[in-house]
Amino acid sequence: MCSDVVQTSTAISLSAVEKAFVTPQGVVHALARTDFNVVKGEFVVLLGPSGCGKTTLLRLMAGLERPSQGQVGINGRGLWIGAKRVDETAADLGMVFQDANLFPWFTIEENVSLPLKLRGFPKSERLRRAQQLCQLVGISGFEQRLPRELSGGMRQRASIARALSYEPSILLMDEPFGALDAMTRDAMNLELQRIWLATQKTVVLVTHSIQEAVFLADRVVLLTRRPGRIDEVIDVPFERPRALSVQDEPRFLNLVSHLRSRLDH
């Protein structure tokens, strides 16, 4: 990675990144050549039609997929050297998936602190951090419960806490609230904004919801149909913290209707 050309304020850099999957049925071009930088501390939302390559793009940022072409940089350092992922670079990344993916037989505290256990943190430190994180995401008091004893929204809070446990500077989220009902989703959007403002992480979030995208994002990145490419990047200038009532304002509704018409094309 050419760190001299990547600004120090850049958290994620994609330089001429492409992704094609080779399958028995042929080559699937998931992502066309893409150049994009995420600024440190920014909240970026990826929006686009189903199958356009959003998850692929996020997994490329997470180092879970290797680009077929191009370079991915995290905080100025390359994520891949040849076919080898650089684990020290990937340590700056936390990932949250659509399903909370908690281990059902572990307590919430054990789930949240599992990445610390894998990294060899002593037990006292693991417990201290798990308690702090449960407080941050609003599930204090549920540390000793099993995942099935929590609601879907609470499980997603636990999964955010787990992703934050080893203090990555970047949080990557793939439709984290897609399975939640509308009211819980609104509440989680507010919570995520609060956590983001409190921790000053860089966040990249994938969603199908135009409303969610405009509510959460500093910038919305609109992708075209497969092979996905960046169609438009839209600044969302509303001040923070945003209240849910911003969604009733004409400037919010205008952005939503603009994005909807682009997606309908």
Ligand X SMILES: Nc1ncnc2c1ncn2[C@@H]1O[C@H](COP(=O)(O)OP(=O)(O)OP(=O)(O)O)[C@@H](O)[C@H]1O
Shortest distance, CB of residue 125 to ligand X, whole angstroms? 36
CA 159 vs CA 13, 42, 53, 110: distances in Å: 26, 21, 23, 12
Residue 48 C-beta: closest distance to ligand X, Å: 6
Binding of residue 224 to Mg ion (CB under 5 A): no
Residue 34: which of ligand X, Mg ion, none does it interact with, CB under 5 to 8 A by kind? none
Tell me how far the alpha carbon of residue 91 is from its chain's centroid: 15
Say whether residue 158 binds ligand X (CB under 6 A): no
Q: With beta carbons less than 8 A apart as the criterion, state whether 78 and 71 touch.
A: yes
Q: Which is nearer to Mg ion, 55 or 159 (CB)?
A: 55
Specify whether the CB–CB gap between 79 and 89 falls below 8 A: yes
Please give the residues from 33 up to 92 whose contact with ligand X meets the rule CB under 6 A: 48, 50-56
Q: How many CA atoms lie within 13 A of 109 on its CB side?
A: 16
Looking only at the bridges linking them, the beta strands covering 10-23 and 69-74 are antiparallel
Mark the segment that binds ligand X (CB under 6 A) among 10-18, 20-28, 110-118, 242-250: 20-28
Does 124 sit near ligand X (CB under 6 A)? no
Asked whether position 55 contacts Mg ion by CB under 5 A, the answer is: yes
- C-alpha dihedral over 133, 244, 205, 1, to 10 degrees? -90
Which residues of this chain interact with ligand X, rule CB under 6 A? 21, 23, 28, 30, 48, 50-56, 226
